[in-house]
Structure 1
Amino acid sequence: MTALFIFIFLGLFSPGPNVIMLTASGANFGMRKTLPHLFGVVLGVGIIGGVTGLGLGTILQAAPQLEFALKLIASGWILWMAFALLRSAKHHTPESEKPFTFAQAVLFQWVNPKVWAVAIAGAAYVTHLAPNSQAITLGLAFSGINLGVCLFWTYSGDLLSRLLKTDEAWFVFRIVMAVLLAATILLILG
Structure 2
Amino acid sequence: MTDLLPLFGFVFFGLFSPGPNVILLTASGARFGFRRTVPHILGVALGVGITAGVTGFGIGALLKAHPTLEIVLKIAASGWILWMALNLWRADPAKNQGGDRPFTFLEAVLFQWVNPKVWAVALSATAYVAGASPTDQAVTLGLTFSGLNLGVCLFWATAGSLLAYLLTNQAAWRIFMRIMAVALVGFSVLVFL
Alignment match of 1:105 (pick from 83, 108, 117): 108
Normalised to the residue count of structure 2, the TM-score between the two structures is 0.95
Alignment match of 2:144 (pick from 141, 146, 154): 141
Q: Distance in 1 between matches of 2:51 and 2:122?
A: 7
Q: Are positions 1:181 and 2:189 aligned together?
A: no
Contact 1:91-1:171 within 8 A present in 2 as well: no
Contact 2:60-2:123 within 8 A present in 1 as well: yes
Equivalent residue number for residue 58 of structure 2: 55
Q: Distance in 1 between matches of 2:142 and 2:104?
A: 21
Amino acid at match of 1:52: T
Equivalent residue number for residue 38 of structure 2: 35
Q: Are positions 1:86 and 2:121 aligned together?
A: no
The alpha carbon displacement at 1:92 in A equals: 4.6
Contact 1:48-1:115 within 8 A present in 2 as well: yes
In structure 1, stretches of 5+ residues that fail to align are none
Contact 2:78-2:189 within 8 A present in 1 as well: no
The alpha carbon displacement at 1:50 in A equals: 0.7
The alpha carbon displacement at 1:98 in A equals: 0.5
Identify if the C-alpha distance between structure 1 residues 34 and 90 changes in structure 2 by more than 3 Å, giving closer, same or farther. Answer: closer
Q: Distance in 2 between matches of 1:57 and 1:115?
A: 12
The alpha carbon displacement at 1:2 in A equals: 0.8
Equivalent residue number for residue 27 of structure 2: 24
In structure 2, stretches of 5+ residues that fail to align are none
Question: What's the CA shift string for 1:39-92, capped at 9, x where partnerless?
Answer: 000000000111111111221122221111111101111111111111113435
Contact 2:55-2:126 within 8 A present in 1 as well: yes
Normalised to the residue count of structure 1, the TM-score between the two structures is 0.96
Q: Equivalent residue of 2:94, what SS?
A: coil
Amino acid at match of 2:137: Q
Equivalent residue number for residue 127 of structure 1: 130
